[in-house]
Chains A and B, each alone.
Chain A
């Protein structure tokens, strides 16, 4: 927090984070060009949050036009984490944050059994100790939320929370492509497109997992690595795999690509 900022160690840490933050915003701006892939963009943002806030996992849930919450991006594709996201259709910090339009913090989940009798034990079982849910708001309506999970690190301080809200706002703008917001129906169109892409990605993960004998997290890594390495959209590669226009072996045998910024 602020009182520690004077120590050399903290000044260095701040400096490193400022540099990462600038890089994150540059990369995000790069993705906000015409015809970018929403899921790619959110996937990058989730990964950036893990780096910036030193949390264990980050995920983004969108309220789909039917009113339920669907995970669209996660820094970690482990099935148990995706299930934890889906559980929040019934209860949890993200649901509360979306309902109230405010940030919801739980610095110690062991104390939250009464508040979230199913979510708290499920999160603890996976190894998370704290969670922060940041609403993604469009005017007065919440379209989804950014979730930051921590295994043991101290909870986010005030400046971290402000920054997390700024990133959630950038994500909202990214999804809704601000320039077209005069058409309210576009919100529904864009959200639906993001959710449909996510389903295609799940189908493709299944194809890669079965072909390569991988778990879902590794299957997603392979998919993302191939998309970035070939400068293609994640959802386009996923669609090609599910429609058998692209052989799973080609993706699995491609040389691994580093974590890079997403392609527009």
Chain B
């Protein structure tokens, strides 16, 4: 069920890879990598657009520090436009990572947690050799990409790669909480089941969610 077991659906995985490649252009960066959170909460590399992106991620896993690790632990984006700028306050936070990042010529790192509310799925890391912030446009495009990556990472097997990429209205998250109780399962699995049920019925997820919230649709345990 979790992305860490994944790989069985080339479609969803292929879609994440192409989202990463597009994101490099959209965000005006040099490379991008995605890692998934293992069951213990530590990130495992899933895909990188190039060698430096892959080194940047592996370094952080090995050293146990860096923007990606902080984003994974806090669930909040960590956007560092210049690793050498003292006002970013990173020198004391990641001393070993800064040395290594500078060795491979990386000046800016932007780490985005991939999450859907309480569901933590992974982290997406962007890097650039040149310092500088992401523009408002680049940021909003990247946030959209991160959302889409999350939608695909949630369930490799059951969700088709052509699902819409927009974020869900709040009722979908309420319905996931309800489904979690009705199915006596985890919030991750509940959202997957909600989505799969909507997909099988040929309905938009938010429509089924509204029925679940209004009590017009109830999930039955052990019915699949």
Hey, what's the 0/1 contact readout for A211-224 against B, CB within 8 Å counting as 1?
10000100000000
Q: Which of A203, A216, A248 contacts B176 (CB 8 A)?
A: A203
A65's nearest neighbour on chain B, judged by CB, is B143
Does B87 sit within 8 A of A, measured CB to CB?
A: yes
A206 and B181 alpha carbons, distance in the complex (Å): 8
Does B102 sit within 8 A of A, measured CB to CB?
A: no
Q: Which of A17-25, A155-163, A187-195 touches B?
A: A187-195
- B167 to chain A: which residues have CB within 8 Å? 66, 68
Q: Indicate if the CB atoms of B170 and A199 lie closer than 8 Å.
A: yes
A205 and B212 alpha carbons, distance in the complex (Å): 13
- A209 to chain B: which residues have CB within 8 Å? 174, 177-178, 213
Q: Which of B11-19, B56-64, B110-118 touches A?
A: B110-118
Q: Indicate if the CB atoms of B177 and A189 lie closer than 8 Å.
A: no
Does A210 sit within 8 A of B, measured CB to CB?
A: yes
Does B31 sit within 8 A of A, measured CB to CB?
A: no
Does A243 sit within 8 A of B, measured CB to CB?
A: yes
Q: Indicate if the CB atoms of A242 and B180 lie closer than 8 Å.
A: yes
Q: Which of A45-53, A101-109, A177-185 touches B?
A: A177-185
- A198 to chain B: which residues have CB within 8 Å? 170
Q: Is the interface of A mostly helix, strand, loop or mixed?
A: helix
Q: Known contacts A67-B140, A71-B170; is A206 also within 8 Å of B180 by CB?
A: yes
Does A11 sit within 8 A of B, measured CB to CB?
A: no
A-contacting residues, B10-35, CB 8 Å: none
A203 and B167 alpha carbons, distance in the complex (Å): 15
Does A244 sit within 8 A of B, measured CB to CB?
A: yes
Does B163 sit within 8 A of A, measured CB to CB?
A: no
Does A86 sit within 8 A of B, measured CB to CB?
A: yes
Q: Which of A211, A216, A243 contacts B118 (CB 8 A)?
A: A243
Q: Indicate if the CB atoms of B117 and A211 lie closer than 8 Å.
A: no
Does B187 sit within 8 A of A, measured CB to CB?
A: yes
A contact set with B: CB distance below 8 Å: 64-68, 70-71, 79, 82-83, 86, 182-186, 188-189, 192-193, 196, 198-200, 202-211, 216, 238-239, 241-244, 248
Known: A66-B167, A82-B170, A207-B177. 7 other contacts (CB 8 A): A192-B76, A199-B117, A199-B170, A204-B177, A205-B177, A206-B177, A211-B181
